[in-house]
Amino acid sequence: MYSLCCKTLSSMGLICLLLASTGWTEEVDKPETVWSASRDLIWSASDGLRREIFFSSLINQKWTEPFQVTYDNADNLTPSIDRTSRGMRYAVWAAVDQTGHIIRYAVSEKGGWSEARTIPELPWTATTPFISVGPDDDIWVVFAGNNGDSDDIYYTRLAGTAWTKPERVHAENQVPDIQPYLEIDDTGRMLLTWEGYRGDRYRTLRSVWNGEGWGEEFLLEEDGDAESALEEPSTSEIPEFVEDRLHAFLRVYDR
C-alpha cells in the first residue's frame, strides 16, 4: 500500500492527492458506484451563515452532484476522507461552535451520509484532523490538540465500534506541534508526519508506528532512508464547482 500526502496550503485547509488501499472488518454491501469511483472530494464551503461540509465522487470521469454532509450551527473546517476495501467511506473534520473546537466524523450510507458524530474524550481543543484506514483495517485519525498549554499531536483509532482514548504521539514539550497527516507506505508501515517548532523554526517531523505505539520523532529531512511525502498538488485536479480550493481535500484511489 502507498499513500501520498501533501503540504498544507492554508491553516484552514488541505488539498491532497492520495493513493490508498485499505480494509474494514464489517460486512457491508459493495455498490458498483463505490468501486467505479476513482476519486473522492470533500470540502468546506459557506452556506451564507457558516461553513458546511460537502462531498462528491469522480465516477466514470464525471463528478457526482455535490452532497451536503453537515447541517448544524458549527463552522466545519479542514475535512479529509478515506474509504475501506469494502467501500465504506469515513469523513472527518474540525467543528467550531459555542462549545469550542472539536472533531466530528460521518460514515457513508446508501444514498448519503450518517448524522455527524463527535470523537469522544478529546483535549480541550482539537483541530486539523486527518483520517486514514490502516493496514489492520482500523480507522485512524490524527489531529492537533491543546489541553491548555501548546498544541500537540494526538491520535485515536476506531477499532470495531469504539474509539480509543486520544493519546499524544510525541514526548511532552512546551512548543507547538501542528498540521499532522498519516500515510501508509508500500510495505504497510504507518508514517505520521507533522510540523513541530524545534530550535528556532518549524521543522518537518515524523514518527513510525511500531505495532504498539509511535516511535521517537525524527527530523524528516535528516533521515536518509525516509523520502519526504510532501508534494505540491495541482489545483486543476479540483473541479470548478468548488469555489474555495484551499478548503478542499481530494483522495485518489489506486483501485
pLDDT at 85: 84
Q: Are 68 and 52 in contact (CB under 8 A)?
A: yes
Give me the DSSP letters along 95-162.
EEETTEEEEEEEEEETTEEPPPEEPSS--SEEEEEEEEE-TTS-EEEEEEEESSSS-EEEEEEEETTE
pLDDT confidence of residue 235: 63
Q: What is the DSSP string of 202-252?
A: EEEEEEEB-SSSBPPPEEGGG-TT---------GGGS-TT-S-GGGEEEEE
Tell me if 113 is assigned to some domain. Answer: yes
CATH number of the domain at 133, please: 2.120.10.10
Question: Lowest-confidence range among 66-70, 138-142, 242-246?
Answer: 242-246
* pLDDT for 173: 93
* Residue 3 resides in a domain: no
Residue whose cell numbers read 521517537 = 216
Tell me: pLDDT of 183 over 90: yes
Q: Where does the pLDDT of residue 34 fall: very low under 50, low under 70, confident under 90, or very high at 90 and above?
A: low
Q: What is the pLDDT confidence band of residue 255, given thresholds at 50, 70 and 90? A: low
For residue 169, the enclosing domain spans 8-252
Give me the pLDDT at residue 162, please: 94
Assess if residue 2 is contained within a domain: no
Residue 248 lies in a domain: yes
Residue 116 lies in a domain: yes
Q: What pLDDT is attached to residue 36?
A: 62
The rounded distance, in Å, linking the Cα atoms of 135 and 190 is 8
Res 1: pLDDT:
39
Number of domains into which the chain is organized: 1
| 1 falls within a domain | no
Q: What is the pTM of this model?
A: 0.83
Q: What's the mean pLDDT in 68-76? A: 96
d(CA 163, CA 106): 14
pLDDT of residue 232: 45
